[in-house]
Amino acid sequence: MLSRAPRPTVDVVIEVDGGIVLIRRRNPPHGWALPGGFVDYGERVEDAARREMREETSLDVTLVDLLGVYSDPSRDARTHTISTVFVGRANGNPQAADDAAEIGVFEEATLPKPLAFDHARIVADYYRFRRTGERPVPD
């Protein structure tokens, strides 16, 4: 029997000196995105977030906040995913690895467009959170 359950994922808005880290995806769907990925069976979302950040950015990230949970069934054209989105901090220079073809550090005014998935919404929510301290309100 085929499971119709959504797949859990994680994304992290990584704060580094000069902005936030985005990756240009090596695999479809292509485009710029927050680093992230699927949670493995038996893995805590916090551990998955740290693992994915090491794999895609070569950074050891400290998770400092939970931004929110994003679950729109259309957020990923491949399958229904539910993403737990963290804010993290890291030192050092990010290096593209694993699923990342390219990596960059961007300020709000220099973000590449368009961003993949629903990451434009997540990044806008992040900047609003940083300015006001208010977390995104569920729709």
With left for phi above 0 and alpha for psi between -120 and 50, is residue 42 left, alpha or beta?
A: left
- Output the pLDDT for position 100: 85
> What's the N-to-C CA distance of the chain in angstroms?
32
Say whether pLDDT at 49 is over 70: yes
Average pLDDT score over residue span 47-51 = 98
Catalytic residue among 43, 46, 102, 107: 102
The pLDDT value recorded for residue 18 is 84
Could you write out the three-class secondary structure of 94-115? CCCCCCEEEEEEECHHHCCCCE
Element (H, E) at 123: helix 119-132
The yes-or-no verdict on residue 1 having pLDDT over 60 is no
- CB–CB of 33/56 below 8 Å? no
CB atoms < 10 A from the CB of 25, how many?
A: 19
Q: Please say whether the structural domain 7-132 has been given the CATH code 2.60.120.10.
A: no
Where does the pLDDT of residue 139 fall: very low under 50, low under 70, confident under 90, or very high at 90 and above?
confident
> Is 15 labeled as catalytic in the residue annotation?
no
The mean of the pLDDT values for the chain is 94
Which of 37, 54, 40 lies closest to 97 in space, CA to CA?
A: 54
pLDDT per position as a tens digit, 66-75: 999 999 999 9
